[in-house]
């Protein structure tokens, strides 16, 4: 079935690293994405990883992909108050046009 | 221009009204999408248009009627909605992966139209 799972909440101290985890279902997924949604706004693409990669780094963001376990993670280094948002992982199914979103993880930053 | 523009931003309608949501992109993308998002939930796929043809309908009730007049425009016609249809309706576009190999296929989202059905 189509099910992308994430933990619902994460709270970190400002300046620490945040790690948001995701498990997905389609072993033939080609691309996996991380989106950020701030209150009242649409979704903004943060980064993506192709399924034949294990890791991708983009400034403060590091994506790790474990294809065997169908596990994806997003690490945000030096978390800032502006990082407060809901983070969605998403997978593009091998049937091309379909992108399915995880349940979203609400990241809150404490001083 | 990397924007997806949705209008209106807010819409309040009664259950007997007919209204439309509009979406426009000028990035040359050939796939366009409607998603529905309830509060504290992920976006749920409703429809996908690829090259102006409906390619995916996720068993959406017929009171929602999509239309793609041209490659830049996507409409969602609303009729006889129910209060439980109140949600944020998100439009997105992407390069069509099937026809343009090698692109990453990410979705570019609009800011959404927040619909309230009374």
Please tell me whether residue B71 adopts helix, strand or coil conformation: coil
**Residue of A24, A52, A63, A97 for testing the chain B interface, max B β-carbons within 10 Å:** A97
User: Using CB atoms, which residue from A42, A98, A104 is nearest to B112?
Assistant: A42
**Quick check: A100 contacting B, CB < 8 Å?**
yes
**Quick check: A88 contacting B, CB < 8 Å?**
yes
HEC per residue, chain A:
CCCCEECCEEEEECCCCEEEEEECCCCCCCEEEEEEECCCCCEEEEEEEECCCCEEEECCEEEEEECCCCEEEEEECCCCHHHCEEEEEEEECCCCCCEEECCCEEEEEEC
User: Vertex A84, ends A58 and B87: CA angle to 5°?
Assistant: 110
B78-113 per-position pLDDT tens digit: 999 999 999 999 999 998 655 455 567 789 999 999
Lowest-pLDDT choice from A19-23, A58-62, A92-96: A92-96
Rounded Cα gap, residues A84 and B49, in angstroms: 33
By a Cβ cutoff of 8 Å, what residues of chain B touch chain A? 4, 31, 33, 40-45, 48, 50, 55-56, 90, 92, 96-98, 104-112
A28-44 per-position pLDDT tens digit: 777 899 999 998 888 99
């Amino acid at each position: 079935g189509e099910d992308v799972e994430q933990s619902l909440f994460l709270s970190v101290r400002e300046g620490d690293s945040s790690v948001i985890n995701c498990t997905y279902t389609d072993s033939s997924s080609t691309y996996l994405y991380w989106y950020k949604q701030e209150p009242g706004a649409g979704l903004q693409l943060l980064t993506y990883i192709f399924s034949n990669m294990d890791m991708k780094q983009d400034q403060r963001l590091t994506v790790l992909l474990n294809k065997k376990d169908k596990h994806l993670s997003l690490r945000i280094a030096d978390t800032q108050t502006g990082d407060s948002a809901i983070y969605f992982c998403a997978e593009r199914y091998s049937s091309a046009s379909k992108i399915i979103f995880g349940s979203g993880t609400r990241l809150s930053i404490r001083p | 221009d990397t924007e997806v523009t949705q209008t209106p931003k807010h819409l309040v309608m009664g259950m007997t009204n007919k209204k439309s949501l509009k979406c426009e992109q000028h990035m040359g993308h050939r796939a366009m999408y409607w998603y529905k998002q309830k509060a504290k939930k992920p976006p749920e796929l409703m429809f996908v248009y690829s090259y102006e043809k409906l390619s995916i309908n996720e068993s959406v009730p017929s009171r929602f009627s999509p239309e793609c007049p041209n490659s830049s425009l996507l409409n969602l016609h609303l009729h006889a909605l129910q209060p439980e249809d109140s949600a944020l309706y998100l439009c997105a576009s992407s390069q069509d992966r099937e026809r343009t190999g090698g692109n990453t296929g990410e979705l570019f989202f609009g800011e959404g139209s927040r619909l309230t059905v009374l």
